[in-house]
Amino acid sequence: MTVLSFLWVVGAMASLAMSTTLCQDCDFILCHKSQEKAAKNYIDTWNGDFSLENITFTPNVNLYQDRLPGSNGSIELSIGTSGEFIKFMKMAHTGWNHYQFVVQNIAFDKYNVVIRWALNATVGPHDKMIIPINKPEGSHITYNGTDWLYLDDCTGRIKRVDSAQDYITALHAQGLTDVKI
Ligand SMILES: *[C@@H]1O[C@H](CO)[C@@H](O)[C@H](O)[C@H]1NC(C)=O
Ligand SMILES: *[C@@H]1O[C@H](CO)[C@@H](O)[C@H](O)[C@H]1NC(C)=O
Ligand SMILES: *[C@@H]1O[C@H](CO)[C@@H](O)[C@H](O)[C@H]1NC(C)=O
Ligand SMILES: *[C@@H]1O[C@H](CO)[C@@H](O)[C@H](O)[C@H]1NC(C)=O
């Protein structure tokens, strides 16, 4: 064995040892298919398959987004676990007769997945709705938004989401034209 190839083997063994100690259960291989799977899991979870929680998210997933409109102005919602994320999704579904996200466009870059989506929803009975809404039951509501998913490089699960809804459009679609900030 030449000195050069010996050094190469030592180096390869060292980096192998390092990657296994850094990431014990590293079973994720980044490829287009795994990126698509992460996006599909996210949309399916949002569309009501909450059993996907621990396939889709890391336990300490963060959601960053703008303040949400509330009846007294706006509220901040901080989300730092997958359980809180699911709770937030269930809250978002509450009251609507139909509540579904449709993917308009999607972009992938390594551990980043960016989804441009549209909400496809139908207003439910007013006494069941928990967001302020000024449209009759049965009204179709749609608006767009963009979610940036950050994948964990060890598990491929989503560890962070930066979400931006088209809020002014959304509020007007919901019939709210004078919302206090
Ligand atoms: C996900 O894991 C957490 C923590 O182990 C658990 O409390 C929760 O029930 C799991 N969710 C699902 C849908 O299995
Ligand atoms: C909004 O403010 C009113 C008056 O201060 C209060 O009675 C009501 O509980 C508040 N509603 C919410 C959702 O915080
Ligand atoms: C939107 O939802 C309605 C049901 O309310 C459904 O008929 C329609 O196909 C959906 N649109 C898309 C693009 O999925
Ligand atoms: C949502 O975005 C699509 C383009 O992807 C556009 O055609 C549509 O008009 C937008 N809808 C609203 C309500 O802004």
Beta bridge partners of 142: 120
Q: Which pLDDT band, with edges at 50, 70 and 90, does 4 fall under?
A: low
For ligand 2, atom 10: residue with the closest CA: 72
Does residue 23 lie in a domain region? no
pLDDT at 2: 55
Does residue 166 lie in a domain region? yes
- Is residue 89 pLDDT above 70, yes or no? yes
CB 158 within 8 A of CB 52: no
Alpha helices in 72-138 (DSSP H): 82-93
* Pairwise CA distance, residues 156 & 138, whole Å: 39
Backbone angles phi, psi at 141, to 5 degrees: -125, 130
For ligand 4, atom 13: residue with the closest CA: 143
Instruction: Look at 19-23, 62-66, 156-160, 171-175 and tell me which has the smallest mean pLDDT.
Output: 19-23
pLDDT at 148: 98
Does residue 48 lie in a domain region? yes
Does residue 178 lie in a domain region? no
Does residue 157 lie in a domain region? yes
pLDDT at 58: 97
**Count of positions (residues) in the chain:** 181
- Our CA angle for 92, 85, 175, nearest 5°, is 20
Does residue 2 lie in a domain region? no
Beta bridge partners of 62: 160
| Ligand 1 proximity of 51 Cβ (cutoff 6 Å) | yes
For ligand 2, atom 1: residue with the closest CA: 72
**pLDDT mean over 96-123:** 97
For 76, the domain range is 28-173
Give the residue with greater pLDDT, 18 vs 71: 71
Give, for 116, the enclosing helix (H) or strand (E): strand 112-122
| 9 Cα: distance to centroid of ligand 2 (angstroms) | 68
Average pLDDT of the chain, as a whole number:
87
Domain at 102, CATH number: 3.10.450.50
Does residue 11 lie in a domain region? no
Does residue 18 lie in a domain region? no
The secondary structure of 124-181 as a DSSP string is --TTT--S---S-TT-EEEEEEEEEEEE-TTT--EEEEEEEE-HHHHHHHTT--S---
Mutate to test the pocket of ligand 4, among 103, 104, 140, 141 (most ligand atoms within 8 A of CB): 104
pLDDT tens string 38-82: 999 999 999 999 999 999 999 999 999 998 876 677 888 899 999
Return the exposure string of 82-91: e unless at least 16 CB atoms fall within 10 Å of the residue's CB, then b.
Answer: bebbbeebee
Total domains present in the chain: 1
> Which residues, 6 or more positions from 116, have their beta carbon under 8 angstroms from its beta carbon?
103, 104, 105, 106, 144, 145, 146
Atom of ligand 1 nearest to the CA of 52: 13
**pLDDT mean over 14-43:** 73
